[in-house]
């Protein structure tokens, strides 16, 4: 179902003209209201919103980086007076100060709208019981899904993350049909179901809406099998709005439709900053088109993906982004071989004897980096370590140390899984 058929099926021409109008408006507000941005835009030769003749002129605007938010922490990039800000969230980054983001009442309206679209895209309809196990609090997951689900008319169960045994009890007793959580936490719930002896026939789960961390098709298969639902991918980041920047449709489940009337997307070469074409992999960059409190011009996400402009069977005309392979910062460089954790996940989850829980430890015991992969076996097998070592080397070129831990040995997540622990000095 389309939540907003008019805006989700605009022709490219209509969309481009709407985007240009909104971009000019956003740029005008930045120039007028955010001194730091005005200085930077002026330095790049942009004096007024009228300097943008077409969307191609977006390339004239400077990028915004996460460090800009840190430097002007907490409110320095806000474009409205403090009394218009009705909500604060913060990014989940663990290093240093968090990234603080703010919303006006209007911003919360847009966010609810894109989340209602996201849920409708996943096949969720009015009246369904939605079990929301994303964390509530400064993290955008819990409240973002909550608002969209209420707007759509779901019966929201705001359970938040954690306390897995309670999750199972509530899921069964309240008949949750839609599960919202990180993919790693969904597996945690699945494991608890198993431990509690609660069979899938006792649940009413139909669909799961998972995101907030990279995950693979192999992980999708494992979750669908273990929870008896259809899993869709949702993407977003606090700096742009939170969840709801893009999401998969249940019909195709082949790339996430970007909500292009609110967020303008580009993919760039992370080194040169050049804009790349459809199908070319690079760093996602978003510009907000309707945000009031904290508009963002060309925000560099650090996330690696590519864009698909071919038509989708669901009828939406918005372009789609491929699954995020990982964050540039999370790339592992092991003895000259560059790989993302998701590439290791893909190989591990193809090994039937391995449970879908893993963690990687990077260390430098001598002169060379060493990668240890921790995983758990479903059944005891003496040759499993060797088998995984071989499979990883074949598929990724990485030579790693494999350690099989007893069931439960790999730390479980309640939100975003910590996939990589970097113990390298410095």
- Which residues of 122-162 form beta strands (DSSP E)? 129-132, 155-157
Residue at shortest CB range from ligand DLL: 211
User: Minimum CB separation from ligand DLL for residue 399, in Å?
Assistant: 27
Among 161, 173, 247, CA closest to 207: 247
User: Site for ligand DLL (CB under 6 A): which residue of 3, 78, 235, 340?
Assistant: 235
Q: 160 — alpha (psi -120 to 50), left (phi > 0) or beta?
A: left
Nearest in space to 329 (alpha carbons), one of 300, 302, 298, 305: 302
Q: How far is the CB of 306 from ligand DLL (least distance, A)?
A: 13
Residue 113 and residue 137 in contact, taking contact as beta carbons nearer than 8 Å: no
Q: What is the largest CA-CA distance in the chain?
A: 69
Binder among 213, 266, 343, 414 for ligand DLL (CB under 6 A): 213
212 binds ligand DLL (CB under 6 A): yes
Distance CA 305, CA 361 (A): 25
Residue 98 binds ligand DLL, judged by CB under 6 A: no
Q: How far is the CB of 95 from ligand DLL (least distance, A)?
A: 13
Residue among 103 and 235 whose Cβ is closer to ligand DLL:
235
Q: How far is the CB of 150 from ligand DLL (least distance, A)?
A: 16
Question: Residue 188 is encoded by which pair of tokens?
Answer: 């945690």
- Cis? peptide before 74, omega within 30° of 0: yes
> Which residues ranging from 243 to 282 are in contact with ligand DLL (CB under 6 A)?
243
Between CA 59 and CA 68, with CA 62 as vertex, the angle to 5 degrees is: 145
Q: Is 134 in the site for ligand DLL (CB under 6 A)?
A: yes
Is 396 a binding residue for ligand DLL by CB under 6 A? The answer is no
The rounded distance, in Å, linking the Cα atoms of 289 and 232 is 25
Helix (H) or strand (E) holding 259: none
What are the tokens at 199? 């069979």
Positions 287 through 316 that interact with ligand DLL (CB under 6 A): 301, 303
Exactly one of 26, 92, 177, 290 binds ligand DLL (CB under 6 A); which one? 92
Q: Does 208 bind ligand DLL (CB under 6 A)?
A: no
Query: CA torsion sign, 15 to 21 to 27 to 30?
Result: negative
Q: Which of 211, 255, 341, 356 binds ligand DLL (CB under 6 A)?
A: 211
Answer yes or no whether residue 214 interacts with ligand DLL by CB under 6 A.
Answer: yes
Q: Rounded to 5 degrees, what are φ and ψ at 339?
A: -145, 150
Pairing of strands 207-211, 230-237: parallel
Nearer to ligand DLL by C-beta: 78 or 235? 235
CA 199/CA 208 separation, integer angstroms: 17
Site for ligand DLL in 309-348 (CB under 6 A): 324, 327
Q: Which segment (102-110, 191-199, 234-242, 398-406) binds ligand DLL by CB under 6 A?
A: 234-242
Among the residue ranges 33-41, 125-133, 207-215, 387-395, the one whose residues contact ligand DLL (CB under 6 A): 207-215
Tell me which stretch binds ligand DLL (CB under 6 A): 31-39, 230-238, 273-281, 396-404. Answer: 230-238
- Closer CB to ligand DLL, 93 or 199, in the complex: 93
Q: Closest distance between ligand DLL and the C-beta of residue 89, in Å?
A: 8
Task: Report CA torsion sign: 69, 116, 412, 424.
Answer: negative
Which residue ranges make up the site for ligand DLL (CB under 6 A)? 91-92, 134, 139-141, 211-214, 233-238, 242-243, 301, 303, 324, 327
């Amino acid at each position: 179902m389309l939540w907003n058929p008019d805006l989700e099926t605009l022709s490219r021409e209509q969309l481009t003209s709407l985007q240009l109008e909104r971009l000019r408006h956003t740029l005008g507000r930045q120039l007028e209201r955010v001194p730091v941005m005005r200085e930077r835009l002026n330095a790049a030769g942009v004096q007024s919103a009228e300097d943008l003749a077409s969307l191609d002129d977006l390339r004239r605007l400077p990028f915004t980086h996460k460090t800009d938010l840190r430097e002007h922490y907490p409110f320095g990039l806000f474009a409205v007076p403090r009394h218009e800000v009705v909500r604060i969230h913060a990014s989940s980054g663990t290093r240093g100060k968090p990234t603080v983001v703010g919303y006006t009442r209007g911003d919360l309206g847009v966010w609810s709208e894109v989340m209602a679209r996201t849920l409708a895209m996943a096949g969720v309809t009015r009246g369904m019981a939605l079990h929301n196990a994303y964390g509530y609090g400064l993290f955008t997951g819990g409240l973002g899904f909550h608002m969209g689900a209420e707007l759509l008319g779901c019966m929201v169960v705001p359970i938040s993350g954690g306390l897995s045994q309670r999750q199972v009890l509530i899921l069964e007793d309240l008949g949750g049909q839609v599960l919202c959580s990180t993919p790693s936490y969904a597996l945690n719930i699945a494991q608890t179901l198993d431990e509690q002896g609660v069979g899938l026939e006792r649940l009413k789960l139909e669909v799961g809406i998972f995101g907030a961390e990279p995950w693979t098709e192999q992980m999708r298969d494992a979750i669908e099998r273990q929870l008896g639902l259809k899993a869709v991918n949702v993407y977003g980041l606090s700096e742009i709005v939170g969840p709801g920047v893009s999401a998969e449709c249940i019909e195709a489940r082949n790339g996430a439709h970007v909500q292009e009337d609110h967020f303008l997307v580009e993919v760039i070469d992370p080194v040169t900053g050049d804009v790349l074409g459809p199908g070319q992999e690079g760093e996602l960059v978003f510009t907000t088109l309707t945000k009031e409190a904290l508009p963002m011009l060309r925000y560099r996400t650090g996330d690696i993906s590519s864009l698909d402009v071919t038509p989708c069977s669901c009828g939406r005309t918005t372009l789609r982004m491929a699954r995020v392979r990982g964050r540039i910062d999370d790339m592992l460089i092991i003895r000259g071989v560059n790989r993302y954790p998701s590439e290791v996940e893909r190989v591990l989850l193809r090994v039937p004897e391995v449970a879908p829980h893993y963690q990687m430890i990077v260390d430098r015991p001598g002169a060379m980096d060493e990668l240890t992969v921790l995983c758990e076996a479903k059944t005891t097998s003496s040759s499993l370590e060797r088998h995984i070592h071989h499979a990883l080397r074949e598929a990724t070129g990485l030579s790693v140390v494999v350690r099989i831990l007893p069931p439960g040995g790999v730390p479980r997540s309640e939100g975003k899984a910590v996939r990589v622990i970097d113990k390298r000095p410095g």
